């Protein structure tokens, strides 16, 4: 095949392709598809409102003795027990309780059912104080609803617990006396006030 024939043939192919190209339609660009509309994040779930825990119920109050129709506070772990137990137990009519915690505190309390006219609190406090060495005079102070006779004492024979306070008062139909000793001089008065602030009797 001569060069002229090849050129002619190629020209015809080019024309044919051009004719075909004129018949083809251009593919349009795809139409604009907008992004999906904005969906806001869901509102945050609010935290639940604060519900306070219930107050704990004290099942065993270790610094409060209750028995024989009265209650009285006492130094920590100074468990008050019947002095004659188990051979003899106290009763509503009268009794004696003692307690010592081994950490520098001692307490005792006694009571007697007696007419109010026959009970003299200062005299009863003085009676106990005279067993020891009295420090100052007996004074009467109101502790809650009680009129309490108070006097400081020193047990010169006890090097471990020498400092004490004696209290005597009347409640209901009984007279009460309590003594607290401590190794520190400043503590007995505070402890006797704390104990009697919590005192109640069956009236």
- The Cα 115–Cα 121 span in angstroms is 12
Residue 91 in contact with residue 84, Cβ under 8 Å? no
Mean pLDDT of the chain: 78
CATH architecture of 64-201: 3-Layer(aba) Sandwich (3.40)
Instruction: Say if residue 5's pLDDT is above 50.
Output: no
Domain boundaries, given as residue ranges, for the chain: 64-201
pLDDT per residue as tens digits for the range 82-107: 988 888 899 999 999 999 887 889 99
Which of the two residues, 49 and 192, has the higher pLDDT score?
Answer: 192
pLDDT per residue as tens digits for the range 53-86: 344 333 333 589 999 999 999 988 888 999 888 8
- The Cα 158–Cα 162 span in angstroms is 5
pLDDT per residue as tens digits for the range 40-51: 555 554 544 444
Task: At 180, give phi and psi (nearest 5°).
Answer: -125, 130
Residue 46: both structure tokens together? 């609010």
CB crowding 95-118: b at 16 or more within 10 Å, else e: bbbbbbeeeebbbbbbbeeeeeee
Residue 145 in contact with residue 132, Cβ under 8 Å? no
Which of the two residues, 12 and 153, has the higher pLDDT score?
Answer: 153
- Where does 63-186 have alpha helices with state H? 121-129
pTM: 0.68
Residue 121's alpha-carbon distances to 74, 82, 99, 168, 203, in angstroms, are 20, 23, 23, 5, 18
CB crowding 139-166: b at 16 or more within 10 Å, else e: eeeebeebebbbbbbbbeeeeebbbbbb
Residue 74: both structure tokens together? 């006492």
List the 64-67 sheet strands across, edge first. Answer: 64-67, 70-73, 200-201
């Amino acid at each position: 095949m001569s060069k002229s024939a090849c050129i002619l043939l190629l020209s015809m192919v080019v024309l044919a392709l051009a004719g075909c190209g004129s018949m083809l339609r251009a593919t349009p660009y795809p139409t604009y598809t907008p992004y999906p509309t904005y969906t806001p994040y869901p509102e945050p779930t609010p935290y639940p409102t604060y519900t306070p825990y219930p107050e704990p119920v004290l099942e065993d109050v270790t610094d409060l003795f209750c028995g024989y129709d009265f209650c009285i506070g006492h130094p920590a772990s100074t468990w008050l027990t019947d002095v004659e137990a188990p051979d003899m137990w106290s009763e509503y009519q009268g009794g004696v309780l003692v307690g010592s915690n081994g950490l520098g505190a001692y307490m005792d309390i006694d009571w007697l059912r007696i007419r109010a006219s026959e009970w003299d609190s200062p005299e009863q406090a003085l009676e106990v104080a005279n067993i020891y060495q009295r420090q100052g005079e007996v004074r009467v102070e109101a502790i809650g609803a009680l009129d309490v006779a108070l006097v400081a004492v020193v047990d010169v024979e006890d090097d471990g617990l020498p400092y004490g306070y004696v209290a005597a008062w009347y409640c209901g139909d009984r007279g009460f006396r309590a003594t607290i000793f401590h190794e520190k001089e400043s503590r007995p008065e505070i402890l006797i006030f704390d104990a009697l602030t919590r005192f109640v009797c069956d009236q």
